[in-house]
C-alpha cells in the first residue's frame, strides 16, 4: 500500500468518525488525484507539452433525511474537519426546509479495488520517446503525396480515487487512459 493510499484511508476514517459522531444517517468521502499529460505535434515539429495535476475531496452526508455536500482542493487532516462540518451544516439547513426525507435503499457493503490493467505506464515513458514518436508519425504522413499539413497528439491521464462510507464501504480506483491521434490534410 502506497503512502497516498495509507494517508487517504486515514483521512477517510477520520471523516467517517466525524460524520457518525454528528448523528448523520449516512455519509461518504471521495478523494481524487488526477494527473494528465498532452504532447502535441504540428507540421513536423513539437507544438507543445502540457502537464496538469488536480486533487481534492468531497464529503456527502445525509442528516435527518436531507443531503449536504462540501468539497476542497486541499487534501489534509487540517482541512477535513471544516469540510465535513460544512457538509453537515448544509444538510441540517436543508432538513429544516425539506418536505419529504430522502430514504436510502439498503445496499450490501462494497470493498473493492479497481485498477486499469496496462503493459506500459505512459507516465514512465520518457518525453523524448513520445516526441520522437510524434515526429516520426508526422514525417510518415508527409511522405504521402498531397499532404501539406499534419498533426499528431498523445494524451494520458491517471485518476486515483478512494471512496469510503459510514456503511463501511471502501473502494479504491487507479484508472489509466491513453489516446493517440494523427491527422493529415
pLDDT interval class at 179 (50, 70, 90): very high
Computed over every residue of the chain, the mean pLDDT equals: 96
**Are 97 and 157 a contacting pair, CB within 8 Å?**
no
Rounded-to-integer distance, Cα 148 and Cα 40, Å: 17
CATH number of the domain at 179, please: 3.30.2290.10
pTM summary value? 0.87
**Are 184 and 149 a contacting pair, CB within 8 Å?**
yes
Q: What is the pLDDT of residue 6?
A: 78
Average pLDDT over residues 105-120: 95
CA 12 to chain CA centroid, Å, is 16
Average pLDDT over residues 149-158: 98
For residue 150, give its domain range: 3-184
Rounded-to-integer distance, Cα 136 and Cα 99, Å: 64
How many folded domains does the chain comprise? Answer: 1
Q: How many helices (H) and strands (E) does the chain have?
A: 3, 6
> Which cell goes with 135?
515526429
Amino acid at each position: 500500500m502506497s503512502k497516498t493510499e495509507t494517508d487517504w484511508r486515514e483521512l477517510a476514517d477520520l471523516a467517517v468518525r466525524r460524520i457518525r459522531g454528528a448523528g448523520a444517517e449516512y455519509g461518504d468521502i471521495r478523494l481524487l488525484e488526477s494527473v494528465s499529460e498532452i504532447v502535441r505535434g504540428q507540421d513536423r515539429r513539437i507544438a507543445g507539452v502540457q502537464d496538469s495535476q488536480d486533487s481534492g475531496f468531497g464529503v456527502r452526508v445525509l442528516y435527518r433525511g436531507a443531503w449536504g455536500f462540501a468539497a476542497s482542493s486541499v487534501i489534509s487532516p487540517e482541512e477535513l474537519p471544516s469540510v465535513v462540518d460544512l457538509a453537515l451544516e448544509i444538510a441540517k439547513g436543508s432538513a429544516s426546509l425539506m418536505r419529504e426525507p430522502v430514504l436510502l435503499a439498503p445496499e450490501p457493503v462494497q470493498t473493492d479495488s479497481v485498477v486499469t490493467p496496462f503493459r506500459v505506464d505512459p507516465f514512465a515513458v520518457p518525453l523524448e520517446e513520445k516526441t520522437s514518436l510524434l515526429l516520426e508519425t508526422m514525417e510518415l504522413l508527409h511522405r504521402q503525396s498531397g499532404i501539406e499539413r499534419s498533426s499528431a497528439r498523445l494524451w494520458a491521464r491517471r485518476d486515483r480515487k478512494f471512496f469510503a462510507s459510514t456503511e463501511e464501504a471502501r473502494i479504491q480506483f487507479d484508472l489509466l487512459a491513453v489516446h493517440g491521434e494523427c491527422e493529415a490534410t
